[in-house]
Structure 1
Amino acid sequence: MSKEKNGKEIVCTMISGRTLEQAKEMHSGKNSKSYSEAVGKVYVSPLLLNELGLAEGEKIVLKSSFGRAEARAYVDPGLPHFVVFIPMGPVANLLVGYETEGTGMPSFKGVQVEVCGAC
């Protein structure tokens, strides 16, 4: 079981976008296992993964003022320490609000989330 370092939640900024893996697997259908796996990931810095006491591929919990989501954590060494990247899709949708501010689409960038290994 994953353990949470010091029992704390770490506040991070979530950004979301499309990934190449997601685009490739979209052709299998959005109900396919391969697509679900492609969008069920959260990319974090190696430092954040270590701070959470997690290994790559373990479940990570994210909470925002809009909802809660779980996904598998993967390292992206290019991400800043307190930034997490989530492919646009079901996981990200659970963490963003419904307000579109006239654009027709909610903001998937700059959402504050609390991140932990098992909270």
Structure 2
Amino acid sequence: MAEEFILIPGRTSKQGTTLNEGKYTDGYLEEISTLQICDQDMQRLGLSDGDQVRMWNDVGEVTVPCKTSKGDELPPGLLFISYGMWSSALMGGDTQGSGMPDSKGLDVFLEPA
């Protein structure tokens, strides 16, 4: 059964260091394609690190592996993924005249794939 979450895409230091090696390296692609979920949500959904999850909203849909976030970095109900092609698939094109689409606080649905 799908649950509603808030997705916060962003940059990570690992993303920056692996970018120096190239956008098509295994390290960079893994960093931008792995969804981080808090421990409580992982347990409630019956997920383990590396499991595939399906995430979607009214803009798009992606299926990515997930992992438990470190410590208390994420509260329950909040998801994180590094900026990249998977996060972009869930962002709308409307920029409200700013030139940048909404990229934070995206309402998404999530379920085990």
Normalising by structure 2, we get a TM-score of: 0.93
Structure 1 residue 74: Cα displacement: 1.3
Match of residue 4 from structure 1: none
2:44 to 47, 51, 58: 51
- Residue 49 of structure 1: SS of its match in structure 2? helix
Residue 110 (str. 1) matches residue 105 (str. 2): yes
Question: Which stretch of structure 1 is more off in the superposition, 80-89 or 25-34?
Answer: 25-34
2:17 alignment partner in structure 1:
24
Give deviations 1:33-62, integer Å, cap 9, x for gaps. Answer: 221111111111111111211101211110
1:9 corresponds to which residue?
2
Whether 1:99 and 2:94 are equivalent positions in the alignment is yes
RMSD over aligned CA atoms reads: 1.0
Moved beyond 6 Å, runs of 4+: none
1:109 counterpart SS class: coil
Q: Which amino acid aligns with 1:106?
A: P
Instruction: Number of aligned residue pairs: give it.
Output: 111
Identity of matched residues, %: 27
Structure 2: gaps (5+ residues): none
**Cα distance in 1 between the residues matched to 2:21 and 2:54:** 27
Task: Output the CA distance in 1 between the equivalents of 2:22 and 2:74.
Answer: 29
